[in-house]
């Protein structure tokens, strides 16, 4: 049975069967640890070489880090969060105007991950938007709440600046030219997922989002300031990434793992639910141009002695994205389909 929106205001007292995971695939929340040394990076630092070094360590070890003093204003963030809450709080008939279970459609309000294909559903509703170039997409965005377009435009613009700045730092941290990513990734797209995880009656039996890696280049996540839910897999163990209200969580996507020839990791992560509070998260995805050819950066393997070689074959982002959406979210790492022999 295909799931419909969860954000109805109705509080379930037991978990509907279509959300119950098999025993072998449950969150085991009591076994999740706190990550004490999760990297926190002040990207306003003027000590560029130290900053670049910190980015390198974070990307190589965790594939994830948090940034503070990121240049996105507090007002922009607060307005984005409140318009997102307002959006999910609208009456069902207003929201259903945007509902679709077709993953190729944007904008769309949907639920779970890919409802038509899945066997078990996920405890999440989400609004998916294309955000760049804004002028091309803004007209198709929701017109309710009335401030939606203005607020989301402002947020997306500021996030893009941050994303491009981080891509420069990441390029440098690999010993590449500052504008390496910018050149290779072409005219980058920007997508947004506004995720809404309602309180869940049985968080031990299901996921908000099951373990996955992000198929794009770089993800900039605004976590709910107070409600925990994001977890990442490090050395085979799940760790919670607790929210910091002044920080964005940044993670390496599959494309940067490929470009870095595996030096940086696109790490498995998931979102879990809780019984008490709804959780909101806003993910912004920097995506290579569809025609961009992704290949391990030459300077990372060419000059090396011995048998250093590109781990991944060349492919276009369009080819990758198609492969990604043809799978289940929690299957093998999608990059494994693009290994060199
Ligand atoms: C995602 C994601 C995590 C979260 O949208 O890709 O990983 O905390 N979200 O909502
Ligand atoms: Ni993700």
pLDDT of residue 2: 47
The residue contributing the CA closest to ligand 1 atom 6 is 214
CA 249 to ligand 1: nearest atom: 8
C-alpha to C-alpha distance for 284 and 222, rounded to whole angstroms: 8
Per-residue pLDDT band at 1 (split at 50, 70, 90)? very low
C-alpha to C-alpha distance for 122 and 7, rounded to whole angstroms: 13
Q: In the predicted model, is pLDDT for residue 36 greater than 80? A: yes
Residues with CB under 6 A from ligand 1: 193, 195, 209, 214, 221, 223, 229-230, 269, 271, 281, 283
pLDDT of residue 124: 97
C-alpha to C-alpha distance for 31 and 17, rounded to whole angstroms: 24
pLDDT of residue 327: 76
Which ligand is closest to the CA of 282, given by its number?
1
- What is the average per-residue pLDDT within 317-334? 85
- Are 133 and 157 in contact by the 8 Å Cβ rule? The answer is no
Task: Output 33 or 116, whichever has higher pLDDT.
Answer: 33
Residue 184 alpha carbon to ligand 2 centre in Å: 22
- Are 35 and 234 in contact by the 8 Å Cβ rule? The answer is yes
- What is the average per-residue pLDDT within 116-134? 94
Residue 209 alpha carbon to ligand 2 centre in Å: 8
DSSP helix/strand/coil, 294: strand
CA 283 to ligand 1: nearest atom: 5
pLDDT of residue 7: 92
pLDDT of residue 326: 79
pLDDT of residue 307: 65
pLDDT of residue 3: 58
- What is the average per-residue pLDDT within 230-236? 97
- What is the average per-residue pLDDT within 231-251? 96
- Are 80 and 153 in contact by the 8 Å Cβ rule? The answer is no
Tens-place pLDDT, residues 39-48: 999 999 999 9
Q: In the predicted model, is pLDDT for residue 237 greater than 90? A: yes
Per-residue pLDDT band at 103 (split at 50, 70, 90)? confident
Pocket test of ligand 1: the residue of 112, 271, 282 to mutate, having most ligand atoms within 8 Å of its CB, is 271
pLDDT of residue 306: 65
pLDDT of residue 54: 98
Q: In the predicted model, is pLDDT for residue 95 greater than 90? A: yes
pLDDT of residue 200: 97
CA 229 to ligand 1: nearest atom: 8
Q: In the predicted model, is pLDDT for residue 33 greater than 80? A: yes
pLDDT of residue 305: 67
Q: In the predicted model, is pLDDT for residue 128 greater than 60? A: yes
Q: In the predicted model, is pLDDT for residue 56 greater than 60? A: yes
- Are 83 and 153 in contact by the 8 Å Cβ rule? The answer is no
Q: Please give the model's pTM, rounded to 2 decimal places.
A: 0.96
Q: In the predicted model, is pLDDT for residue 92 greater than 50? A: yes
What does 160-217 look like in DSSP terms, one character per residue?
A: HHHHHHHHHHHHHHTTS-TTHHHHHH-S-EEEEEEEEE---S-GGG--SEEEE--SSS
C-alpha to C-alpha distance for 62 and 33, rounded to whole angstroms: 15
Q: Where are the alpha helices (DSSP H) in the chain?
A: 48-61, 74-88, 92-96, 134-137, 148-173, 180-185, 254-259, 317-325
CA 279 to ligand 1: nearest atom: 10
- What is the average per-residue pLDDT within 167-186? 97
Pocket test of ligand 1: the residue of 63, 192, 221, 253 to mutate, having most ligand atoms within 8 Å of its CB, is 221
Per-residue pLDDT band at 32 (split at 50, 70, 90)? very high
Tens-place pLDDT, residues 130-149: 999 999 999 999 999 999 99
Assigned CATH topology for domain 24-338 = Jelly Rolls (2.60.120)
Q: In the predicted model, is pLDDT for residue 329 greater than 70? A: no
Listed ranges 10-14, 105-109, 187-191; the one with the highest mean pLDDT:
187-191
């Amino acid at each position: 049975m295909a799931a419909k929106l969860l954000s109805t205001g109705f509080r379930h007292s037991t978990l509907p069967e279509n959300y119950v995971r098999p025993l072998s695939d449950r969150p085991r929340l009591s076994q999740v640890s706190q990550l004490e040394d999760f990297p926190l990076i002040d990207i306003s630092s003027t000590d560029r070489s130290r900053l670049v070094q910190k980015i390198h360590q974070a990307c190589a070890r965790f594939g994830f880090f948090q940034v503070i003093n990121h240049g996105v204003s507090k007002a922009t963030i607060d307005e984005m969060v409140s318009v997102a809450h307002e959006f999910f709080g609208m009456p069902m008939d207003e929201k259903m105007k945007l509902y679709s279970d077709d993953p190729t459609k944007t904008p769309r309000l949907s639920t779970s991950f890919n409802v038509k294909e899945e066997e078990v559903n996920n405890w999440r509703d989400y609004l998916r938007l294309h955000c760049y170039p804004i002028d091309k997409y803004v007209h198709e965005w929701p017109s309710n709440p009335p401030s939606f377009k203005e607020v989301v435009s402002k947020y997306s613009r500021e996030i893009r600046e941050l994303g491009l700045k981080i891509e420069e730092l990441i390029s440098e941290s690999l010993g590449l030219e500052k504008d390496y990513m910018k050149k290779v990734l072409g005219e980058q797209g920007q997508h947004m997922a506004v995720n809404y995880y309602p309180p869940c009656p049985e968080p031990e039996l299901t996921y908000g989002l099951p373990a996955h890696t992000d198929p794009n280049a770089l993800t900039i996540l605004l976590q709910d300031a107070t409600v925990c839910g994001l977890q990442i897999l490090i050395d085979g163990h799940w760790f919670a990434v607790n929210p910091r209200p002044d920080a964005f969580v940044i993670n390496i996507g599959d494309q940067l793992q490929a470009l870095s020839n595996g030096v940086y990791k696109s790490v498995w992560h998931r979102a879990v639910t809780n019984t008490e509070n709804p959780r909101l998260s806003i993910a912004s995805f920097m995506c290579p141009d569809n025609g961009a050819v992704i290949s391990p950066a030459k300077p990372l393997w060419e000059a090396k002695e011995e048998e250093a070689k590109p781990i991944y074959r060349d492919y276009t982002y369009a080819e990758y994205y198609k492969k990604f959406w043809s799978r289940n979210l929690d299957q093998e790492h999608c990059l494994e389909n693009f290994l060199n022999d």
